[in-house]
Structure formats: structure tokens, C-alpha cells
Structure 1
Amino acid sequence: MRLRNVLRVGACGLALGLGLVGSASADTTDELLKQLKAKGILTEQEFQALSTRRAEEVKAAPAAASGKVLEAADTGVGFKVGTVNVQISGSVNGFYVSDNADKPGATKNVVGGLASVGGNDTSSVRNGLLPGFLKFDVTTQQAGWDVGAHFGMYPGINSVSWAGGANSGGSPTALSTSGIDFRQTFLTFGKKGFGEIKIGRDIGLFGADAILSDVTLLGVGTAAGNATPSNTSLGRIGLGYIYTDFQPQITYTTPDMNGFKLSAGIFQPLATAGQNELNDTPGFQAKASYEGKAGAVTTKLWAGLLTQDHDPAVAGGPDYKGTGYDVGAKVGFGNASLLGYYYTGEGIGTTGLFILSADARGNKRDSDGFYIQGSYVIDKLTLAASYGESHLDLAKGEVNPTLLDTNKSWVGTVHYGLTDWVTLVGEYINTKAEAQGPNKATSDTVALGAILFF
């Protein structure tokens, strides 16, 4: 009799324990209670009490009964509430940067040049080409459509002057503050067979793959203003490609067609730097891309287009159309990869869109550039090197000997994957600027630091 009671108590504990596991074990628990009753281990009263308690637990926890409430995202940190997915991702970086600037002088002045000129070495602890970022993506499916809201905040670690916004010139003085660049605010909706529409502020199409494929995206590249650093360095911006920027847009992207995709959109027209304009038509950008894999060989190809009219706000102001094209290819074979990129344009400028793109009368300046990059992975170590140039031509009839002719740089990098999140980075960068006349300047930079992604 005592043994029967012991078995009964143990069985009751087992049944109760299983009942607390959740809805996935509901059928198993109910069946176990029935078998324990049939074998005489549970009395009818005990069976009814446990069954009632089990039913009350299931009723009190409908979320647990229907499945997990919080689920780990594939990347980053995320969870699911009903049919809504929330994903949070982010990055933080910091680098010690030593920049050896060229000595100042009459022959060192290059308007638009990116090499440092100052005569003294400078040291800083700063962000690299990327500031930090914190992104929120909220997605779900409604009425057969995949819809999403996307927000991206990009804070820096360096104090800024705020004279030009969150990424203005640095202000390394006591009681200064850093900036937060809210680069991304956009919505998406799409479905299989239709593609996707994006409305809001996000990275552009023209030149986007150039910067996203640039190895200096994880580091510093050309330091730019190292004595008073802002929230970003230059990387290879203006030294092989024009910065795509984050722009207000309405874009459409086709479904994936065996690796091929087409994107096109209208964009907020950007004014020529230093000019007031009343542009009556939007900018237009488009891109075609392909990604494929054959055995150990991976291939990525892309080609882009940008065009925009510039209308003067006052008589005699710039009145011209800027047009640019770019192409790129990245091929990987095992642990090795090779990338090549080229752009050309009329009236699109250099370094940033529509910077130095025309003279004061609106006469267009042609520009072009390229960069090549190779990398090799050895276990957790990645070795990479790149070289690039950006060229700017004088407008027709223009005489301007100090205006930029070429910005170019060599970059050598070493990356070590300390953990899945943390990468240690070391870089050496040589930057050279050459004017239309004899002026030129050269600077050398060393950067050591780390970047984290989650």
C-alpha cells in the first residue's frame, strides 16, 4: 500500500511537471494521465483534479499554447509578436589614427584635394568610414503583401561643431557632443512575382555597390580632418567612387530573376554644392545587378545610371543636366576575391554628388574614376589591398590651375575575426591629390582599431 502511494505521488509530480512544459506537450500529457488512471495509479479524483489544472494552465497561457512569443532572429537581435517580426541590428567602431600630413606651402593647395596638408602629424581616436548604427526593422504580411517599416540611426563617437548637421566638422573640446545621423526612414511593400516598392530615405542606387564593396567600409581609409575628426572618415570616397548618399526616394525593384534584379526610382533633386536651385523635376537613378555561383566561383555584377536637371534659382545661375554611369564586378574563388569598379559622368562632380560638378556659369565638368581591390582569407585573418583614382576635368574654356585634377590612394588592410561579432582592423593608407596645375600634396595614415556588428 505504501509503495502504491509512492508511485501515485511520483506519477502526479511527473504529470504536473509535463503539464507545465507548454502546448507542445498537451496531447502527450493528457494521454499519460489517462494511462495512469487506467493502471490504477491515479484515482478518479486525482485524475479529474490534474486534468482540470491542466486545462486552466492552457487557458491562462494562450500565447504559450500557440507557440513561442520571442524567437531569435537569423541575424542581430529580434523577436516575433504574432505575425509581426521585429529585428534590431547595429554596429560600433573606434580607431586610433595617426596621420602624417604634407607640409603647407604655395605648391600644396589643391581645391577639392583629399590629402592632408598641415605640416604636423596628428593623432585621434575616432570613427572610421562607418559611424555606429542602430537599425530597427518591423515587418509582417498583410492582405498578401510583405510590408515593413525601417529606421536607421547612425551615432558617432566624436564631438562635432553642428555647423553642418550631425556629420559636421569635429569639435574636440570639453563639453562638446557627438551627432546622430538619422539616415534611414523608409517603408517597403511587395510580394512574390511583383517585386518591392520602397518609399522614404535610404541609400541611393548609383554608386551604392561601390561603397558597400569597399574594404575600407570596415576601417578608416583616407582620414580627412584627423586633427578635428567628424563622425566619419572618407574611406575611398572621392578616391575611386562618388559617395552615393542617403536620399529621399521612391524606388521599385523587380523580383529576383535567376540572380538578375532591376531597380529604378525617382529621387529628391540635389542642388549643386554652393548654389541655390529651383529644380522642377526629380532626379532619376537605376541599377541592374546579377549574383550567381558556379562551384567555388561566386560572381556579382552591376551597372548603374544617374541623371538630374539643375535649374537656376536666379538668372545666370547653373543650368545644366548631370548624367553618370557606373559598372562593377566582384569575383570570388575559394578564399580569394577580386573587384573592379569604374564610373564616368558629365556634371556629376567628385567625392559627393554635384560637388565641383560645374563652374559658376553652369558649364559642366566631366569626371571619372575607378578602383581595384583584392583580398585573401586565411582562417580568421583577411588580407586586402586596393588602389583607386578619381579624376575631374576643367569645364570648357575654364582656367583654374588649383582645381583638383586627381585624388588617388593606396590602401593595405589586415582584418582579424576575434569573435563572430568583433573584428580587429589594421590599415595603412597613402593619399595623393594633384591639381590641374603643378600643385600636389601627399599624406600617409595608419589606423588601428576594431568594429563590432550584431
Structure 2
Amino acid sequence: MTFAARLLGSAALVSFAVAAVPAAAQDTTDALLLKLKEKGILDDAEYQALMARKASQPSAVPATNSAEAPQQAAAERLDDKKMVRMTDTGVGLQVGDVALRFSGSVNGFYVHDSGARETPQNIVAGGLATVGDDTSAIRNGLLPGFLKIELTTTQGGWDVGAHFGLYPGINSGLGNSGANGPGAPQALQTAGIDARQTYLTVGRSGLGELKIGRDIGLFGSDAILNDITLLAVGTASANAAPSNTSLGRIGLGYLYTDFQPQITYSSPKFGGFQVAGGIFQPLTTVGQSEVNSSPGFQAKVTYDMVPTDGGFGAHAWVSGLIQRHDATGLLPAYTGRAIDLGAKLSYGPASLTGYYYTGSGVGTIGLFLLSTDALGRKRDSSGFYVQGTYGIGKFTLGGSYGESHLDLADDELVSNLVRKNASWVGQARYGLTSWVTLIGEYTHTMSEAHNGNDATSDALAAGAILFF
């Protein structure tokens, strides 16, 4: 709508208000115009023009108290903060100009994990294949449950929001070990809640969005969000005493992105392209007590082609991170770097995903885990996965293969340190309802060490996941 058209419509409102509202209630009209300005409906020029027009109108004749009551009621009805209505999307409601939305997920699986009995030849430090007795568990998959709460509104032309994500699991933890601590399948234990997300957003059309708080990282996030094991189990780590999550394909094709404190900016989309970047809480090297003087940096570029009428669609990305680790004790300073790229292509009911990452001084499985040797020398790492799915009505069949590699540091002695973790995954899903999906999955996991040790394990999983 043009400035003139908006001004004409608002002027009509002002003329009616001045003519109909008694002089004693003229402040109500002023408050209404100010409210429209604060909400961004009127800009400064429009607001000033309407106030000038109102000032030029003759004042209304004071009304009696009996006439003031209906006018006061009408003014109260204009206050949309007293109105409650359903939101257009999600589970929630609109309270005035604030939208309150809830979304979440619940899942559970029966998992049987079978690995080789422990011998000196199948011990792999950092290996993810199970070594030991067969186990059975009722547990969460790669996702715990979650409840996300979002409050969003528009103030002064800015879209603002407060976002909270709570991730409770179904499995018990020991004492105060926390939601991500070791599992404890014992009586009188309780599950933990992982508060992964607490962040605010401020954005504007054409300017992009600023995020401040704790949320999923940029580097590696698309790898896990496009992984089919995100809906199921994948590699069943610690199945004898499960914690809140399994591994899925973490450490078996990609590094875990993690949820991190950050200040990030995301641009508007330009023809399907979007750029994001930010500063992050510097992470310490796992097992070290370093104090880092500079933040971490992460960035990502994505491209989306939305399919129409079951045609071709695409989602592609490239992301990277860099972080300096200051010297500690006798260990030298080092800088960890990594870059990844991937794409998911779809055509009708079929999709194909490919992903690759490479880094130096970033480690394997999680960020800066096994990233250096005992002398502080950097280790290089890399990995990939390929994945395909095909839908047949309510059924979806999927399969994937992935590997993660960790090299020795320069002049590091050969040991049973992990050289490669890999897995095959086969999955079948059935959409029981729009909320509930039934899932069956088979995962074969392989671990190899630099000294030749190796281990394999097999996991069968069956259960369901619900999203709302």
C-alpha cells in the first residue's frame, strides 16, 4: 500500500475519532495513533502528518457521562492486547500482537545391540562399535524428546522473539550426572532435562536476523539435520546403560555440531541463497584446562530450490569454523579449522544426500575431542556419508553409509587410537498419522585402530517418534 493510500485510510479514522469522541477522551485518539506508530503500522512521517491533521480539526462538543461510557467501551475494544485468538500455524495462540507457539517431539525404541566379546585385538580407543556382551534397552534415539516454546511479535517494525528448547529423555541418569551424563538403569533414578536452546532473535524484512543466545551451531548442522538416523537410533552407544541419546551417525560421517552460546547474523534470502556467520563461545580441548582469549568463528552459505508439483528440489550448503586454542602448561597453542559441504537432491518421492568434511585440529565425534596428541600436536580428520530414500505411499525406505577418519599427528607413535569409524544403516518408516511415525532400523558399525585392531557390532531398533 502506498504512503498516500495508508495516510488517506488513517486520516479517515482520525476524522471519525475527532468527530465522534468527546473532548475529554481525545487522549484516547492520541494513544491510538501512538500505538500504530510503535507497532510499525505508521512510520514517523505518517504519524506526524496525522497528528497535524487531527490538530487542525475542530474539537467535539463535550458529551455527557452517559455518552462517554459507550465511547470508552469502543476504545477498549480497539486495544487488541485484550484479544485472544488461535495462531495461524503450530500449536498455540495469539494474545494481542504476541504469538505463543509450542512444538515438540517424543520418541522411544527397543534396541538390541550385539558386539564381539572383548579381546586385546578389538580394543579401539575412540572406537564406536560395541565390544562386550549383547544388550537390550528401551531408550531414546538420536533425538531425545523436546519441547520448544516461542514467543514472537512485531515492535516498531522489528520482528522479535524469545525461544526456549527443553530436551528431556526417557532414560535414567545417575545422581546429578545431568541429562548427558552416563545412564543408570537402576531403581529410584530419574531422567534429566537438557536445556539446549535459550536465545532471542531480532530481525526485519530485507535486513535479516540477529540471534543471541544458545542454539545449534552453524558448522555441521545441516549434516545432522538431513541424516535419516536423526529420526531413529543409528549406532547404539552405551546400550547397556543408555543416556538421553544414541549416536546416530555422529562420529560415523560427521562431527557433532553441538548447541553453543553464540551471536550470529543470518541474511535475507537472495534467489534461494542465504549467508550466516557469527562468533561462538570458544570450546576447550576435551581433557585440557586451557583458557582461550578469542572466540570461535563459524559461517555457512545455503541454497534452496523448492520443488513444485513433485518436481526437482535441492538444498545445498557449505560451512566452516576456525578457533584458536591458547597454550596451557607445556602444551603449545594451536588453531583448529574445518570446512564441510553437502547437498540433498529430491525428485518426487526420491531423495539423495551427499556430505563431506575435512579439518585440522578439530578431532572426531565431537568438536576438539582427540584433536591433538599428548604433546599438543594437531591431528587431521575427515569424513563423509551418502544416503538415499524412496517413498511409497505412507512407507519410506532409506539407506546410508558413512565414515569418519582420524589421522595421527606428525611423529605420533602408532597405537590403538581410532583410525576409522564407519556404519551401514537400513531404515523403514511408516506414517501412521500426521504426528506419529513407526520406524524399524538396522545398523552395522565398524571401528579400526591405527595398530590394526578392529571391532564390529550390529544393532536392531524398532519404535516410534511423534512430532507436533
Contact 2:216 2:259 in 1 (8 A): yes
Letter in 1 for 2:344: K
CA–CA separation in structure 2 for the residues paired with 1:243 and 1:164:
21
CA–CA separation in structure 1 for the residues paired with 2:125 and 2:224:
23
Cα gap change, 1:294 to 1:130, in 2 (>3 Å): closer
SS at 1:107 equivalent:
helix
C-alpha displacement of 1:72: 3.8
1:309 aligns with 2:316: no
Q: Which has the larger radius of gyration?
A: 1
The corresponding residue for 1:287 is 300
> What's the TM-score once normalised by structure 2's chain length?
0.82
Letter in 1 for 2:436: V
Question: What are the Cα deviations for residues 81-112 of structure 1, in whole angstroms up to 9, with x where unaligned?
Answer: 11001100110000000000211000011000
The corresponding residue for 2:248 is 235
The corresponding residue for 1:210 is 223
The corresponding residue for 2:383 is 369
CA–CA separation in structure 2 for the residues paired with 1:112 and 1:233:
16
Question: What are the Cα deviations for residues 4-43 of structure 1, in whole angstroms up to 9, with x where unaligned?
Answer: xxxxxxxxxxxxxxxxxxxxxxxxxxxxxxxxxxxxxxxx
SS at 2:229 equivalent:
helix
SS at 2:303 equivalent:
strand
Please list, as runs of the form range in 1=range in 2, the aligned pairs for 1:212-361 lying within 5 A after superposition: 212-293=225-306, 295=308, 296-314=311-329, 316-361=330-375
Contact 2:83 2:96 in 1 (8 A): no
Contact 1:163 1:169 in 2 (8 A): no
CA–CA separation in structure 2 for the residues paired with 1:307 and 1:337:
32
Contact 1:101 1:443 in 2 (8 A): yes
The corresponding residue for 1:79 is 93
Letter in 2 for 1:300: H
CA–CA separation in structure 2 for the residues paired with 1:322 and 1:67:
53
The corresponding residue for 1:115 is 129
Match of 1:70 among 70, 85, 90: 85
The number of aligned residues is 398
CA–CA separation in structure 2 for the residues paired with 1:452 and 1:292:
27
Question: What are the Cα deviations for residues 274-307 of structure 1, in whole angstroms up to 9, with x where unaligned?
Answer: 0011100000000000001365000111000100
Identity %: 59
The corresponding residue for 1:137 is 150
C-alpha displacement of 1:313: 3.2
CA–CA separation in structure 2 for the residues paired with 1:221 and 1:409:
8
C-alpha displacement of 1:232: 0.2
The corresponding residue for 2:462 is 448
1:95 aligns with 2:109: yes
C-alpha displacement of 1:59: 6.2
The corresponding residue for 2:173 is 160
Contact 1:189 1:196 in 2 (8 A): yes
The corresponding residue for 2:190 is 177
Match of 1:151 among 164, 171, 180: 164
SS at 1:154 equivalent:
strand
Cα gap change, 1:64 to 1:195, in 2 (>3 Å): closer
The corresponding residue for 1:438 is 452
Letter in 2 for 1:307: I
Cα gap change, 1:277 to 1:294, in 2 (>3 Å): same
Extract unaligned runs of 5+ from structure 1: 1-51
C-alpha displacement of 1:62: 3.4
Question: What are the Cα deviations for residues 410-454 of structure 1, in whole angstroms up to 9, with x where unaligned?
Answer: 000011000010000100000000000110000000000000001
The corresponding residue for 2:138 is 125
C-alpha displacement of 1:319: 1.6
The corresponding residue for 1:7 is none
SS at 2:222 equivalent:
helix
CA–CA separation in structure 1 for the residues paired with 2:263 and 2:231:
29
Cα gap change, 1:65 to 1:111, in 2 (>3 Å): closer
Contact 1:367 1:393 in 2 (8 A): yes
The corresponding residue for 1:26 is none
CA–CA separation in structure 1 for the residues paired with 2:88 and 2:103:
10
Contact 1:276 1:312 in 2 (8 A): no
Cα gap change, 1:341 to 1:271, in 2 (>3 Å): same
The corresponding residue for 1:19 is none
The corresponding residue for 1:410 is 424
Extract unaligned runs of 5+ from structure 2: 1-66
SS at 1:272 equivalent:
coil
C-alpha displacement of 1:187: 0.4
Contact 2:81 2:97 in 1 (8 A): no
Stretch deviating more after TM superposition (65-74 or 88-97): 65-74
SS at 1:238 equivalent:
coil
Letter in 2 for 1:90: G
SS at 1:452 equivalent:
strand
Cα gap change, 1:228 to 1:63, in 2 (>3 Å): farther
Cα gap change, 1:281 to 1:65, in 2 (>3 Å): closer
C-alpha displacement of 1:375: 0.1
Letter in 1 for 2:397: L
Contact 2:142 2:245 in 1 (8 A): yes
